[in-house]
Chain A
Amino acid sequence: MSSSTTSAPPPGIQEPPSAPPPRRRTRSPSPTGWRRALRKDWQLYSLAVLPLLFFLVFRYLPMLGNVIAFRRFEPGGSVFGEYWVGLRYVEMFLSDPTFWQVFRNTLWIGGLTLVFCFPIPIVLALLLNEVRRRSLKRFVQSVSYLPHFLSIVIVAGITMQMLATDGPVNHVLGWFGHDPVRFIQEPDWFRTIYVGSEIWQTAGWGTILYLAALTTIDEDLYEAARIDGANRWRQIWHVTLPGIRPTMITLLILNIGTFLAVGFEKVLLLYNPLTYPTADVISTYLYRTGVESNSFSYAAAIGLFEAVIGLVLITSANQLSRRTVGTGLW
């Protein structure tokens, strides 16, 4: 990773040192403003060229590429499709029973993930916060962060091994005289497995922001609460929780925004045709129809639908939080 930029610029470009550079951009939108800014800061702007190219090509071009949801697309043809077909693909998926099936599955899995994976880190952070021995606290933190750093493939692999017919879970069931359960093949178990492994991987790391917020709470507030006769629970209720409320709200908004984008990769790794009835979600369905069956336009229509709903969800969650508690993400 050597220097990708060339140095040795003409030294005459620098502003005279007597004139300090203006800290704030000038309010007047004069036509010469941009020219002046470019002359003064062209080196800075030049550093932004490659990153901007990245955003343009790999982030914004695909957004435009979504027009193939409304156009006929030929593999090998134009990225933006051949000719307009209107809402044909949208109508197609709206009348596709499989789509509604995967839509319901997505809501289920997303909802359960939100219900469990959002509050558990808060509880865990509060528990960790009550630990007085620093070394113990640090040890628990280190251990519980660990699964976050593992590849999703490894998490899926570990999950499958734990739940295999010869795995530890079935071993424990055996103590109670239960026959081995083929967890991975049972549609009824998929949601539990998904949410369980999600908690295993994310709960510890999820505490990190709450723990940071907890350290910023003023010790005097606890002191005052104690003098007023508040016990431990009341202190948590009246001091601790309000102290971490901004963090909770921020993370809740983010979680709601990614509600429909349920862990696509994990579902793809953990599901199989036997568990499609409960496991197949919007993103895996569009992956199969698009990439595996080459119905790109149809899949793009579904993907666009998902992305728009995600955007609507996060904006409305943000609006709601701004209106009710006065803060939002933006």
Chain B
Amino acid sequence: MVSTIRPSRGHRVFQGVNGVILTLVVLVTLYPFANIVARSFSGEKEIRAGDVTLWPKGFNLTTYEIVFSDAMFWRNYGNTVLYTVVATAVAMVLTTCYAYVLSKHHLKGRGALVGIAVFTMFFSGGLIPHYVLITSLGLKNSVWAIALPNAISVFNLLVMKAFFESLPSELEEAAQIDGLSTYGILLRIVLPLSKAVVATMVLFYSVSFWNSWFSAFLYMDRTELMPVTVYLRNLLAGATGGTAAGAGTENLSQVNANIQAVTIVLTSLPILCVYPFVQRYFVSGVMLGAVKG
């Protein structure tokens, strides 16, 4: 494809083609967002005509008003916040404790402790035994059904362990000589030195809990307990179910499509807002995990 005789010209051509490909990648990634935002502000008639592409047509805010006035939407949005905070807090405590233990190479039985965690990456009990277990523990319809079963992500655990291992051991040894207990060392020496990794882990966990829907879908029986992701899921399911059942409800499903766009915008908004500022933490966290894990 590229001339081997004059590599410099071939190189220029390549750079041009590369630029075009990467521009396409950016456009393909961003266009769906732009379209959804445009739809969320557009009129029903314009959407139905298939005219909405990049800019809103028939600009109006009625759909936003409909969604904003839905008490269940706010209720579920609040649930998402609550579940995210509780689950992240539980996850951080457990992950930090275990990662710290695993980072102590002198500890007898450490290999087994690592193995217990790592094995679960490759083999899991599966959906049905999980479901049976959560049900029989009586965790259904409570935040614990979401927080407890996902309290430790082994990947995050390994990232944190790698970070703790990279800390200089002299500080901890000095603190030990000064009579600080292990708990004291963890809380007063190690954690203040680990702000970066703690922040990264909080982000990892909170984004994954914010985005999760299936645990709630599975273990919550009442709509007022659902997070907003399940609210959106029910809208989507209603849309496909409606059109599958028959074409009689065209109008209704159109309004529904509009509401879907608005809900998608409102649900992804927090992520989109913090994303530019926290992206580098994610990248560095994954690198740390990849290098050591």
A binding-site residues for B, Cβ under 8 Å: 1, 3-9, 11, 14, 17, 21-25, 33-34, 37, 41, 43-45, 47-48, 50-52, 54-55, 57-66, 68, 73, 79, 124, 127-128, 130-132, 136, 139-140, 142-147, 149-154, 156-158, 160-162, 164-168, 170-171, 174, 180, 182, 184-185, 200, 203-204, 208-209, 212, 231-233, 247, 257, 265, 268-269, 272-274, 283, 286-287, 290-291, 296, 299-300, 303-304, 306-307, 310-311, 314
Q: Beyond A7-B184, A151-B212, A311-B123, is A144–B7 a contact (Cβ under 8 Å)? A: no
B215 to chain A, nearest CB (A): 10
Do B290 and A212 touch across chains, with their CB atoms under 8 A apart?
yes
Contacts of A5 in B (CB 8 A): 97, 183
Q: Beyond A47-B97, A161-B257, A164-B257, is A231–B10 a contact (Cβ under 8 Å)? A: yes
14 additional A-B residue pairs with CB within 8 Å, beyond A17-B177, A154-B229, A232-B2: A3-B183, A22-B106, A23-B105, A25-B107, A25-B108, A41-B107, A47-B98, A62-B133, A65-B128, A145-B279, A161-B261, A184-B243, A232-B14, A306-B126
B binding-site residues for A, Cβ under 8 Å: 2, 4, 7, 10-11, 14-15, 18, 21-22, 25-26, 28-33, 35-36, 39, 47-51, 53, 88-89, 92-95, 97-98, 100-101, 104-110, 113, 116-117, 120, 122-133, 136, 148-149, 151-152, 176-177, 179, 181-184, 186-187, 207, 210-214, 218, 229-230, 232-233, 235-236, 239-241, 243-244, 257, 260-261, 263-264, 267-268, 271-272, 275-276, 279, 282-283, 286-287, 290-291
Give the interface centre of A22, A48, A132, A273 by most chain B CB atoms within 10 Å.
Answer: A48
Do B257 and A166 touch across chains, with their CB atoms under 8 A apart?
yes
Contacts of A156 in B (CB 8 A): 233, 236
Do A144 and B128 touch across chains, with their CB atoms under 8 A apart?
no
A268 to chain B, nearest CB (A): 8
Contacts of B177 in A (CB 8 A): 17
Contacts of B88 in A (CB 8 A): 1
Contacts of A132 in B (CB 8 A): 15
Contacts of B244 in A (CB 8 A): 185, 272-274
B232 to chain A, nearest CB (A): 5
Q: Beyond A43-B181, A300-B129, is A232–B113 a contact (Cβ under 8 Å)? A: no
Contacts of A171 in B (CB 8 A): 50-51, 53
| Residue from the list B22, B106, B130, B267 in contact with A62, Cβ < 8 A | B130
Q: Beyond A62-B130, A161-B39, A168-B31, is A54–B187 a contact (Cβ under 8 Å)? A: no
A-B complex: 9 closest residue pairs judged by Cβ atoms = A62-B125, A65-B129, A151-B211, A303-B126, A43-B182, A51-B98, A37-B108, A62-B129, A9-B181
Q: Beyond A131-B18, A161-B36, A168-B31, is A304–B240 a contact (Cβ under 8 Å)? A: no
Q: Beyond A131-B18, A303-B128, is A44–B275 a contact (Cβ under 8 Å)? A: no
| Residue from the list B29, B131, B233 in contact with A146, Cβ < 8 A | B29
Q: Beyond A143-B26, A146-B29, A158-B36, is A47–B182 a contact (Cβ under 8 Å)? A: yes
| Residue from the list A59, A140, A151 in contact with B22, Cβ < 8 A | A140
| Residue from the list A48, A65, A139, A144 in contact with B98, Cβ < 8 A | A48
Contacts of A231 in B (CB 8 A): 2, 4, 7, 10
Contacts of B236 in A (CB 8 A): 153, 156-157, 160, 269
Do B104 and A44 touch across chains, with their CB atoms under 8 A apart?
yes
Contacts of B179 in A (CB 8 A): 11, 14
B195 to chain A, nearest CB (A): 14
How far is A185 from B108 in the complex, measured between Cα atoms in Å? 58
Contacts of A14 in B (CB 8 A): 176, 179
Of all chain B residues, the one with the shortest Cβ separation from A290 is: B128
Q: Beyond A7-B184, A146-B275, A233-B2, is A157–B218 a contact (Cβ under 8 Å)? A: no
| Residue from the list A47, A128, A274 in contact with B101, Cβ < 8 A | A47
A96 to chain B, nearest CB (A): 16
If over half of B's interface residues share one DSSP class (helix, strand or loop), that class is named, otherwise mixed; here it is helix
Do B123 and A63 touch across chains, with their CB atoms under 8 A apart?
yes
| Residue from the list B110, B181, B210, B232 in contact with A157, Cβ < 8 A | B232
Contacts of B176 in A (CB 8 A): 14
Contacts of A304 in B (CB 8 A): 126
Contacts of B268 in A (CB 8 A): 150-151, 154
A10 to chain B, nearest CB (A): 9
Give the interface centre of A59, A140, A310 by most chain B CB atoms within 10 Å.
Answer: A59
Contacts of A247 in B (CB 8 A): 290
Do A63 and B11 touch across chains, with their CB atoms under 8 A apart?
no
How far is A203 from B25 in the complex, measured between Cα atoms in Å? 10
Do B151 and A58 touch across chains, with their CB atoms under 8 A apart?
yes
Do A311 and B232 touch across chains, with their CB atoms under 8 A apart?
no
Q: Beyond A204-B29, A231-B10, is A54–B101 a contact (Cβ under 8 Å)? A: no
Contacts of A273 in B (CB 8 A): 244
How far is A166 from B37 in the complex, measured between Cα atoms in Å? 15
How far is A313 from B32 in the complex, measured between Cα atoms in Å? 36
How far is A47 from B184 in the complex, measured between Cα atoms in Å? 12
Do B94 and A54 touch across chains, with their CB atoms under 8 A apart?
yes
How far is A154 from B241 in the complex, measured between Cα atoms in Å? 18
How far is A51 from B10 in the complex, measured between Cα atoms in Å? 57
Q: Beyond A185-B244, A232-B11, is A143–B29 a contact (Cβ under 8 Å)? A: yes
